[in-house]
Structure 1
Amino acid sequence: MSDFLDHLSANDNDIYDLLISGKQRLTTAVLRELARDRGIFCSPEDSREDLADYLSLLPHDYHDIDGIVQKREPPHRREKTTFVRLGSQLSVQEMKEAATAYAEAVGFNESVTHRPKSGTGYSVSVAYEEFNHTRTRLLQRERHEANIEFLVENGQTVVRLPATDKAKRIVAAIKETVEQKRKEKIIEEMIELTGLTTPALRSKFFTRLISSLPKYKLKNVMNLKVSSLQVGGDGEEEGLDLENDLEDDASKEMFAAVVHSMALSGQNLVQSQEYKELTARGFFITAITWRSEFEHNPNDIYQFDAGFEDRKSGTGFRYQVQGAFRAHKGTHRKSIVHVTDSEKTVLFALIEETARKVLAELLKEAASDESSKE
């Protein structure tokens, strides 16, 4: 019985782990505030560890723990986005019936809401809980929400979803329900680089993507991740981060050929000598962060991120709009801010369409190269 109760309650060690693990949000000032809420004033000489230890020994009910967890968790979860294009136009009624069937299948385990959107589109939102056993016990139950959009375009359906396994399973379940009712298979189109077998072509996907966004001018490349197709005996990538400030003109040592994955950070990395040497040695870009400026007023600068979940195979395309530097009196503000939902919708569509166009061009180039070799 005592073992069972331990799973339903928090002991002093659990509370201490909770308080001490969130250093960025549960600061010393926040811990003092938690004590003051109980009418307790602690010495200014007490360290953060002392405060956490003292607070963990006090009585806590459910609402106390819940309040600490909410202070501990960041307000915004920046999940990356992905998309899949279905080679068929789904009707609103089909999507409604499929979403309803999914909601009935999961029952009370998940909270599912769905509704028509923009006439021919459909929106499905699923709130669910998952356990992350890498975190301290009181934070292992994580609440997530998957917002999935079905957008009808030119006789096809674009599904935009969070780049998570859970969201992919939800979309697969909805698609399977539609297929069962239609009694036919629906073709899927995704951004994958499996058809680009050379490092040069894979890197070109990213360089063309960032320079081809309609109405946006590339300003800077902030971060690169590169990999090699050569894999060691255990099949795992080795990783290494390199802080690279080109303005200081500091020389950086090159990596040994046995290193298969690394990241470079700095300014104008696509033109850097390090990048060129890595490309010559068989490395290719697998993820990139860049900034582009809108060519019309207001000429805000947006920071984007794009890459592949499986870096070597080039599958699992995902992307993100990290924020914007707003135009202000002929220049731009120094701090990055969140973009609005309407902005994000437009920018996501630009990335998706540009990625499809660039990939189609590169596949043609790859086929042409193969034909010329034969």
Structure 2
Amino acid sequence: MNSGNLYSINDKAIYDALHQSKLTKSDLKELFLARGIVISSDASREDLARYFSRLLHDYYDYQALAKRLGSSSRRDKSTISYVDMGGLTIDEVEDAAHELSDLIKEYDATAQVNRIGDKVEVLVNYRITNFNKNEFSQVVNREGVIDLEIEDGKLLIRSPLTDTVENVKEVLVESVAVNNDVELSIESINMKGISSAEKRTEFFEHLVHQLDGLAHHDVTDVYIYNPKNKSDDFEDSDSDIEEEVLDLGVHITRASLKGEKVLLSEEIKGLYDKGFYIWKIVWQAVENSFDSDIYEFEAQFKNAEEFTGFSYLARGYYKYKEGGEYNSSRNGFSDIMERKLGVKIEKAAQLAVQHIANTDSEQLGDDDDQGESS
């Protein structure tokens, strides 16, 4: 169900579903056994699919197949927002949070509120639909946790960066404002006002070196972007190849590089010269000890052109064995460790934005001085 709509399946969809490899022989036996039918291990999948698809089916058949064939859950990247509370307390935030379930019905979502000391936790359950997927993957149940706390007079909002959770977050802040007859606005980590490709890349170069208590180890994945509607159109470039590409109407918008020491490669330097800048990065860091595990992180701006929607993910760690060797498989962090590392990324991102803002202002000041002297 979604906003009054009912999703149904036909015999062709069930026939196709029973041919999928995700549905094991054991799953097929359970489906038939629920109908009181025992099948042979030698029965072909084609015969079983043809027979089962001809039967009458109900909602529970759909649920049984969707559970096995539906989209697998994935970890959403996190983001942080700030609201200047102007003297309001976490109690006013909690009061508004308790009203959420009635306010977010249009998003097919519900909210459960928990108070943990000086913090408020809102568990949002919602559904998303994608009609481009098969019938058993079109509706996916999701949940996201919004963590709320007040620090230095500002409400810190940590949450997954998904469309529904973002909408719920805006409804919550608006509810707090209405209940207390004040004006509140949500701020976030972004560089929307800085369009320089060099400055945008510099943000990530600064970010990966600023994790408190951790030393930079390597950058393994870099995703770069080159907006088509740039105003400079390579005016300062000396490359004849680039001019020829423009004449042919060819434009590469996105590219990615994977490997070791990616930021030091000649390939990425060449792409910088063509106007590309980093919008997403995967990097590794270690603690200041010889036997440290390797921690892996990811950060990006959701809108690569506007440089808004900053989000991050503490991916996991490669456990140190001995003799400088590490496990090849990555382990996940505990919830406590993931939160601790997430705070480090948030603070590093704030420092990176401040660094870019300061250098941008200094450059502007230098330009003004030059203009006066001339």
Length-normalised TM-score, structure 2: 0.82
Q: How does 1:125-136 map to 2 (within 5 A)?
A: 125-136=123-134
Write the distance in 2 (CA, Å) between the matches of 1:185 and 1:260.
Answer: 39
1:32 deviates by 5.2
1:91·1:120 contact (CA, 8 Å) conserved in 2?
A: no
Alpha-carbon deviations, 1:63-87, whole Å to 9, x = none? 3332221222355321111110112
Match of 1:222 in 2: 220
1:111 deviates by 2.9
Match of 1:341 in 2: 335
Alpha-carbon deviations, 1:338-366, whole Å to 9, x = none? 22111111111111111011101111101
Match of 1:72 in 2: 69
Q: 1:102 to 1:270 in 2, by over 3 A?
A: same
1:217·1:292 contact (CA, 8 Å) conserved in 2?
A: yes
1:168 deviates by 1.0
Structure 1: stretches of 5+ with no match in the other structure: 1-5, 233-253
Instruction: Give me the identity figure in percent.
Output: 25
Match of 1:86 in 2: 83
- 2:284 aligned with 1:291: yes
Q: Which of 321, 325, 330 is residue 318 of structure 2 equivalent to? A: 325
Write the distance in 1 (CA, Å) between the matches of 2:349 and 2:135.
Answer: 41
- 2:230 aligned with 1:267: no
Write the distance in 2 (CA, Å) between the matches of 1:228 and 1:312.
Answer: 8
> Does the residue aligned with 1:41 lie in a helix, a strand or coil?
coil
Match of 1:373 in 2: 367
2:262·2:268 contact (CA, 8 Å) conserved in 1?
A: yes
Write the distance in 1 (CA, Å) between the matches of 2:286 and 2:330.
Answer: 13
Q: How does 1:129-168 map to 2 (within 5 A)?
A: 129-168=127-166
Q: 1:90 to 1:266 in 2, by over 3 A?
A: farther
Alpha-carbon deviations, 1:38-72, whole Å to 9, x = none? 4212548x4x6676555434554433332221222
Q: Which of 358, 366, 369 is residue 364 of structure 1 equivalent to? A: 358
Query: Which of the pair has more CA radius of gyration?
Result: 2
Structure 2: stretches of 5+ with no match in the other structure: 231-241, 369-374
Q: How does 1:290-309 map to 2 (within 5 A)?
A: 290-296=283-289, 299-309=292-302
Write the distance in 1 (CA, Å) between the matches of 2:180 and 2:103.
Answer: 20
- 2:104 aligned with 1:110: no
Q: 1:198 to 1:97 in 2, by over 3 A?
A: same
Q: 1:215 to 1:183 in 2, by over 3 A?
A: same
Write the distance in 1 (CA, Å) between the matches of 2:49 and 2:7.
Answer: 22
Write the distance in 1 (CA, Å) between the matches of 2:121 and 2:289.
Answer: 31
> Does the residue aligned with 1:138 lie in a helix, a strand or coil?
coil
2:281·2:298 contact (CA, 8 Å) conserved in 1?
A: yes
Q: 1:144 to 1:370 in 2, by over 3 A?
A: same
1:304 deviates by 1.2
Length-normalised TM-score, structure 1: 0.82
- Specify the code of the residue in structure 2 equivalent to 1:96: E
Q: Which of 186, 189, 195 is residue 187 of structure 2 equivalent to? A: 189
Q: How does 1:175-186 map to 2 (within 5 A)?
A: 175-186=173-184
1:147 deviates by 0.9
> Does the residue aligned with 2:127 lie in a helix, a strand or coil?
strand
Write the distance in 1 (CA, Å) between the matches of 2:102 and 2:139.
Answer: 23
Alpha-carbon deviations, 1:162-196, whole Å to 9, x = none? 11111111111111111123322224321111232
Question: How many residues were matched structurally?
Answer: 344
Match of 2:10 in 1: 11
1:337 deviates by 2.1
Write the distance in 2 (CA, Å) between the matches of 1:283 and 1:78.
Answer: 28
1:29 deviates by 4.6
Write the distance in 1 (CA, Å) between the matches of 2:77 and 2:263.
Answer: 23
- Specify the code of the residue in structure 2 equivalent to 1:136: N
Please identify, of 66-75 and 357-366, the stretch whose mean Cα deviation from structure 2 is larger.
66-75
- Specify the code of the residue in structure 2 equivalent to 1:290: W
1:105 deviates by 2.8
1:17·1:136 contact (CA, 8 Å) conserved in 2?
A: no
Please identify, of 293-302 and 354-363, the stretch whose mean Cα deviation from structure 2 is larger.
293-302
Alpha-carbon deviations, 1:82-130, whole Å to 9, x = none? 110112265232112111222233469533210112x221100111223
Write the distance in 2 (CA, Å) between the matches of 1:280 and 1:366.
Answer: 20
Write the distance in 1 (CA, Å) between the matches of 2:227 and 2:105.
Answer: 44
- 2:35 aligned with 1:41: no
Q: 1:231 to 1:115 in 2, by over 3 A?
A: same
